[in-house]
Amino acid sequence: MIIKSAILKSYIVFLVIKLSVEAQNQCAEGCQTCLNSNNQNTCTKCLEGFELDLKNNLCIYTKCSNNLFFDQRQNNSNILDSRCVAICSAFSYRNQQSNLCQSKLKCSIQKKTQQYLKDNTSTKDFFIYQDNYYIIQKEDQLSMYNRNDLNLIKNMKLQARDLQVFNVNSSIFVIGSDNLISIWDIKNGSRISKTFINMISVNSLTKMDSIDNRYVLAINIYTEKESEFQIFYDLAHQSFALSNSIKINTTVLQDNCIQQ
């Protein structure tokens, strides 16, 4: 089946993303002690759980299993919540050299904006929508800003049954209770929803991503080694399209890739 083959190939790519490493102008993350010489910081001792790589001047986290990355984040109570994950949290990417989820937000330009951006509530995501808007996702709402002047256009409250919101290729998908999935046109405020009976169970822990910029899939990670995913939307035709679900054992998949 063509779709199933594309899923398997894309899933491997999804787990093994190549990331370029920027020149380090500060102590490597996970470094406990570093020395400065000729404006270059060199790590000499890493924190507990990290192993020092002198050649590349970085600390490698060693406590996670294969294909998992160490993610340090703060919860809503500002308490540090650290864990090994397959998919990093918003605002971070998977660094395969250090086995860490690292911040990808680096501002080169700062602009003054309205007070609406300044509040104490937790921000879950920040992304560009349809090239013209900034979207800030909070726990209970999305806020749309003009990219040119940063003026607030509108706030959009989530519905009572909404569990998660995802931005996939500038399309907004909402996971609701009872296996309800909606595509949300936040510019016009309309939703198209569908309840899937034969789909894998989607909930507040489910992740979403696109493959080949063509299909959107839901991903459930059950253990460090076992996960399951299923296509539910065709981006090219802008329509719901449910495939068979596929369970993946990452250990078996990794062995097969090495043998090939």
pLDDT value at 75 more than 80: no
Confidence at residue 186, expressed as pLDDT on a 0 to 100 scale? 92
Gap between the Cα atoms of 172 and 149, Å rounded: 23
Q: Using 50, 70 and 90 to split pLDDT, how confident is the model at 22?
A: very low
* Higher per-residue pLDDT: 61 or 5: 61
**60 SS3 class:** strand
Which of the given ranges, 69-83, 121-135, 143-157, has the highest pLDDT on average? 143-157
HSE of 25, CA atoms in CB hemisphere, 13 A? 1
Is the pLDDT score of 156 beyond 90? yes
Q: Which residues, listed in sequence order, are joined to residue 36 by a DSSP beta bridge?
A: 41
The answer, yes or no, to whether residue 155 has pLDDT greater than 70, is yes
Structure tokens at 53: 């790589």
Q: Closest Cα partner for 92 from 109, 76, 107, 105?
A: 105
CB atoms under 10 Å from CB of 184, counted, come to 22
DSSP state of 201: P
Q: How far is 221 from 203, CA to CA, in rounded Å?
A: 11
